[in-house]
Amino acid sequence: MSASPSEPGLPTIDPELADVAGALLSHEKHVFALLRGEAQRALAAEVATAELPPVHSMDLLAPGEPQVPVRLWRPVAKAAPVPVLVWIHGGGFTAGDAAALDPFCAEVASRLDIAVANIEYRLAPATPYPGPVEDCYAALRHVYRSARELGLDPERIAIGGASSGGALAAGTALLVRDKAEVPLVFQLLDVPMLDDRLATHSAVTYTNTPGFNRAGAASAWAAYLGPARRPGGDDVPPYAAPARAEELRGLPPTYLTTMELDPLRDEGIHYALRLLAAGVSVELHSFPGAFHGAETFAPFAAVSRRAAEERLRALARALSVETDDRVVLGAAISRIPQDSIPQFSDDTGGPA
């Protein structure tokens, strides 16, 4: 297998990510699942040896049409009301499920002594906009209205999501502001999809990037907006594509991340700058040499570690919780060995 991690005009990738990027760019069969599975097993092994405080989960059903499943993770040892992060998984609006993010949600709950509510929203194309964002809003509202009986602090509720989950989190935050039913204190937008027009420099330039590219973004938006709307058209509402919002005042303090080699990079940066101009407190991180999904496929790379730790610290600050060495991830854990990166032969189309 030989796949260059860069193309003309693409900046040099972080050396720790180069082998993983090359494997992803090979487009060989099952490479995404193989790399993701290897990373998840390694992370699970790390967490198992980290001696983190125990957490437990409970399954909820948020009222809606239909009801929205929510899995709530909270620390076992914390009896007092704890703050809560409502988390929305990614997957290009069309894939993924909440169960796949249970390990992440449980780990965040344990490392920060907070609750994390993991939403199972409906997916496109079977359920296009507005169904998914309505599910997320219904789940958030239920968490708020049930906060006291669930042992949660109704004055310390944050929302967050990654990639398409970031789009849904940002769209939900706009709904929260406009409906004025939930006192949302923070939004965490991790490499978010925000703009269906795909007209930024990075969206136009990064057509062959590892992890995610322009074609993937276009396909995701088409599925989410459904047959009634065209990506880039004049009728796309801001609750679907938050970059379309004309007014950003009144949104909660925001933590937003982008990756240098991501077609979504510039729309995230532009959104952060517009939030700042609207008087919203914003912390923006653009991680150099990294691509969309780098944390998923190469979680032990230094840049991935830094992104994960900064996210934990930002959440702790926003939710007013004290931190300790649990926010320092795997200081004694070795990197994934290079021979664990799947290698492919040229003639079989699968693992060598």
Active site residues: 163, 262, 292
How many angstroms separate the CA atoms of 143 and 148, rounded?
A: 9
For residue 288, report the phi and psi dihedrals to the nearest 5 degrees.
-70, 145
Per the structure block, which two tokens stand in for 327? Answer: 């926010």
Contact 105, 75 (CB under 8 A): no
Contacts of 341 (CB under 8 A, 6+ apart): 19, 20, 23, 35, 38
The type of residue at 171 is G
Strand order in the sheet with 68-75: 55-62, 68-75, 115-119, 82-88, 152-162, 184-190, 254-261, 282-291
Per the structure block, which two tokens stand in for 121? Answer: 């929203």
| Count of CB atoms situated within 10 Å of the CB of 130 | 16
How many angstroms separate the CA atoms of 79 and 130, rounded?
A: 37
Per the structure block, which two tokens stand in for 141? Answer: 């509202």
Pairing of strands 152-162, 82-88: parallel
Start-end of H helices in 232-325: 265-277, 294-297, 302-318
How many angstroms separate the CA atoms of 312 and 38, rounded?
A: 23
What's the sign of the alpha-carbon dihedral 338, 286, 314, 252?
A: negative
Per the structure block, which two tokens stand in for 248? Answer: 């950003």
How many angstroms separate the CA atoms of 75 and 52, rounded?
A: 10
Contact 265, 258 (CB under 8 A): yes
